[in-house]
Amino acid sequence: MTAPSVSLAPWHIEPLNPAEAPWPLLLSADPSREKVRGYLAGSTCFAARESFQREGQPPRPGGRGEVLGMCVLVPLRASGDVASGPPAWELMNIAVAESLHHRGLGTALLRRAIEWARSQRAPRIEVGTGSFGDQLVFYQRAGFRVTGIDRDFFLRHYTTQLWERGVQHRDMLRLTLELGTGR
């Protein structure tokens, strides 16, 4: 008789009620509480929770481990465009606890968001991000392509200046991952 194997996966990803989203984590990716509040209410969220569990078994009792990362998606529809099929989705926020950066958790969350959008028959996922930095490479590595530039977005929409590696964020790049074409 063999002992059951133990999964060393440090997290599992599950849906998260937007009302339960941890604000410190959300604000680490988007520092505007007002903007986050605006998109969170009508969103679909996924959380990566810590979990050490036996393979094939549910997460630890209650499945309520600490939220280590999360992502927030909102539907995109043109005004009055209700009958044209499933909506595209915009990834509004993806955040991972700083101590877990560069360990695959963000990639796992992004993959889960893409998988979920495909299950909803969405034609694409869009995201807006700064015009430089690790996050741009992160999305491009997942297959997102630049589809637009919103000049001075961060200057117009944020009261606090956003800096990364000594450079101020000004322009937002719009990136798109087409889901229906297999690209």
Q: Given this model, what pLDDT does residue 152 score? A: 87
Q: Are residues 154 and 94 in the same domain?
A: no
Q: Given this model, what pLDDT does residue 57 score? A: 56
How does DSSP assign 94-149, residue by residue?
EEE-GGGTTSSHHHHHHHHHHHHHHHTT-SEEEEEEESSSHHHHHHHHTT-EEEEE
Cα–Cα nearest to 43, from 77, 73, 71: 73
Q: Are residues 55 and 145 in the same domain?
A: no
Which residues pair with residue 48 across a beta bridge? Answer: 13, 69
Residue 85: CA count within 13 A, CB half-sphere: 6
What's the structural domain count of the chain?
A: 2
Q: Given this model, what pLDDT does residue 164 score? A: 81
Q: Are residues 114 and 47 in the same domain?
A: yes
Cα separations in angstroms, 6 against 10, 15, 51, 54, 57: 11, 24, 11, 4, 10
Q: Are residues 142 and 113 in the same domain?
A: no
Is 82 inside any structural domain? no
CATH code of the domain in which 169 resides: 3.40.630.30
| Rounded CA separation 131/101 (Å) | 20
Q: Are residues 114 and 160 in the same domain?
A: no
Q: Given this model, what pLDDT does residue 1 score? A: 43
| Rounded CA separation 37/53 (Å) | 34
* Domain with 129 in it: 124-183
Q: Are residues 65 and 133 in the same domain?
A: no
Q: Are residues 51 and 140 in the same domain?
A: no
pLDDT along the chain (183 residues), means of 10: 47 93 94 93 94 57 76 80 78 95 94 96 95 90 96 86 84 94 44
Q: Are residues 147 and 97 in the same domain?
A: no
Q: Given this model, what pLDDT does residue 82 score? A: 56
Residue 26: alpha-carbon gap to chain centroid:
10
